[in-house]
Homo-oligomer: A and B are copies of this chain.
């Protein structure tokens, strides 16, 4: 099996775009026809609605984009029945040829980190969740990241470590300066070294970085500092990041980054831009239009146009 980095690179080149669609189902935002019918739905009913909705999104985006990113929090919020639907959504995305990045921002120490990695990462039969990659938080340090990297490499999977997140509050710790450089650069050094060690034939490694679209200057700085590291770029669209902002995430050939959009795509039917054109009933057409528009923006204004 190809390494995760090579699989992701191949998927991006096959689709000619680096769009990552975030699957963040929220009960109050589902298109009208997909909401549970009862007034006070059970978690089982809401879970079923999440499943229908995510499969509907996947049906539209699978022919267009390389990857999806289910957000674990929204499924976990519904308890075991939500987690069951999460597993089904991951499977359905795989059946439709998508790379799946499970966004759980997990971490722990030693053998507990290994348990998370064991559950989340790897093809079906190796892992119960079967994600191609997972997001990981670095606060616990190198001995918490290493078990994730070991499992990922062994199973041709990947991880994305939080480096510089898209939210305003990220600066509280990430921008503190220690030994002459901000904290996020300390994390970046570890990530880049691990990426270089695990680099596949595409030149990128099994260990990627999360770097927000809302910090374009840091994207420039980190792209230069992390030549072997895949970037997962959140914050595009609803959070304010533009195609111009994310241009620096790519290498000169337009590779090495995927740009996430969650609400802006999956709930496009409710946005100013698409609501009138499609409305709730034609929500899947709104998803398609928003995806195509994002693809066009990245093609026109970033090096990803070469893909």
Decide yes or no whether A295 CB sits under 8 A from chain B.
no
Q: Is the interface of A mostly helix, strand, loop or mixed?
A: helix
Decide yes or no whether A119 CB sits under 8 A from chain B.
yes
Cβ contact within 8 Å between B173 and A183: yes
Instruction: Count the copies.
Output: 2
Decide yes or no whether A242 CB sits under 8 A from chain B.
no
Interface string of A91-112 (1 = CB under 8 A from B): 0000000000001111111111
Which chain B residue shows the least CB distance to A78? B128
Cβ contact within 8 Å between B107 and A138: no
Chain A, 93-144, CB within 8 A of any chain B CB: 103-113, 115-116, 118-120, 128-129, 137-144
Inter-chain contacts of A187 with B (CB < 8 A): 173
Which chain B residue shows the least CB distance to A88? B80
Which chain B residue shows the least CB distance to A179? B176
Question: Which of B87, B142, B186 is in CB contact (< 8 Å) with A169?
Answer: B142
Cβ contact within 8 Å between B172 and A105: no
Q: Which residues of A contact B (CB under 8 A)?
A: 24, 26, 43, 71, 73-74, 76-80, 82-84, 86-87, 103-113, 115-116, 118-120, 128-129, 137-144, 146, 162, 165-174, 176-179, 183, 186-187, 190
Complex: how many Å from CA A129 to CA B103? 20
Inter-chain contacts of A82 with B (CB < 8 A): 119, 128
A109-B167, A183-B173 are contacts. A139–B116 as well, Cβ < 8 Å? no
CB distance from A251 to the nearest CB of B (A): 26
Question: Which of B83, B107, B167 is in CB contact (< 8 Å) with A143?
Answer: B167
Cβ contact within 8 Å between B141 and A73: no
Inter-chain contacts of A84 with B (CB < 8 A): 80
CB distance from A142 to the nearest CB of B (A): 5
Cβ contact within 8 Å between A190 and B172: yes
Inter-chain contacts of A116 with B (CB < 8 A): 73, 76-77
The listed residue with most B CB atoms (<10 A of its CB), out of A73, A87, A118, A170, is A73
14 other A-B residue contacts (CB within 8 Å) besides A76-B119, A176-B176: A71-B108, A73-B112, A73-B113, A77-B118, A77-B119, A77-B128, A79-B119, A80-B87, A105-B140, A109-B167, A110-B167, A139-B165, A141-B172, A176-B186
